[in-house]
Amino acid sequence: MSEATAAQPLAAARVAFTPPLHAPQLFGHLAATAVPGVEAWTGGALVRSLALPGGPGVVRVAPPGPDEDAVVVELLSGSPDDLPAAAAAVRWWLDLDVDPAAVDPVLARDAVLAPLVAAGPGRRVPRSAGAAETAVRAVLGQQVSTAAARTHTGRLVAAHGTPLPVPVAGVTHLFPTPAQLTAVTAAELALPRTRQRTLLGLVAALADGLLALPPGRPAAEVREEHLAALRALPGVGPWTASTVALRGLGDDDAFLPGDLGAVAAARSLGLTDGARGLERRSAAWSPVRGYALQHLWGALPHPINALPVRR
């Protein structure tokens, strides 16, 4: 099937946010971790597919300028009637509801983080389209590079995701649903056997309703019930569960003290040495430790911290 050029959007909407917004961190992270077939960085903008009420759709969002207080969501394919749903999905995806005035002053009370906050105010939590997608991507990303995680996830998308009627700007599929992923077999997974078992166990639990919560901030007790069930699955540790809490369920205080990048940044900053010390130090950053994590990741060179170079 031929690919739509999508030069003219079907519909567009402005989605307001409270400035500042650190676009290189937010859009750079999402571009660097984009799943082939589902997400792409092209023409200086993020493009991704979404399951919308009227069927599959594709949206495009460019980074806002430093003086802007809204992003423009362009619906490139799908039903124009789904524009409000697409705009709401992008609001969640880009964490546009957060008020930096409620986050940055908390982190700036730490003398070590204060210069990072001053240099990069308005950092957001880069999210995915929902908790189930986040969980699958997190398991595939366990102990591998960003590039390897993209490769593994892209293969699942190509094999089990719903193809779009017409590819748009390099986007070809919807991310597979838990029901679709139950067709995955260990033989097709180029992963260690323990990781294969973890993914297959996760998929079965997701198909049974684990993490079947709407994007946003569900009641804390409901969220914790689901996360406790997630943590009980073999092969799902604190890093994976906290990633799901932060990027899939909107828990602003979720933290990853064992994340290798976070630990390396903490050492380079003289914050602490090791995961246990970082966990203790992070108590002072509550209830917005997830945003502290974005500053830690931004403290060391990595592709997630900058917009891709346009060619």
User: What is the model's pLDDT at position 213?
Assistant: 85
pLDDT in tens, 12-51: 999 999 999 999 999 999 999 999 999 999 999 999 999 9
* CB-based contact 249:213 (threshold 8 Å): yes
Query: Which of 132, 285, 309, 304 shows the shortest CA–CA distance to 208?
Result: 132
- Three-class secondary structure of residue 11 per DSSP: strand
Q: Which residue do the tokens 């039903």 mark? A: 79
Note the maximum CA span of the chain. Answer: 56
State how far Cα 71 lies from the chain centre.
18
- Three-class secondary structure of residue 137 per DSSP: helix
The dihedrals phi and psi of 110, each to the nearest 5 degrees, come to: -85, 120
pLDDT in tens, 142-201: 988 999 999 999 999 999 999 999 999 999 999 999 999 999 999 999 999 999 999 999
The dihedrals phi and psi of 74, each to the nearest 5 degrees, come to: -105, 125
The mean pLDDT value for 105-122 works out to 97
State how far Cα 4 lies from the chain centre.
26
User: What is the model's pLDDT at position 3?
Assistant: 65
Does residue 253 register a pLDDT over 90?
yes
Q: What is the mean pLDDT of the chain?
A: 94
* CB-based contact 218:131 (threshold 8 Å): no
State how far Cα 95 lies from the chain centre.
10
Residue 12's DSSP bridge partners are 74
User: What is the model's pLDDT at position 310?
Assistant: 64
State how far Cα 62 lies from the chain centre.
17
% of the chain beyond a pLDDT of 70: 97
Torsion of CA 140, 303, 60, 55, to 10 degrees: 0
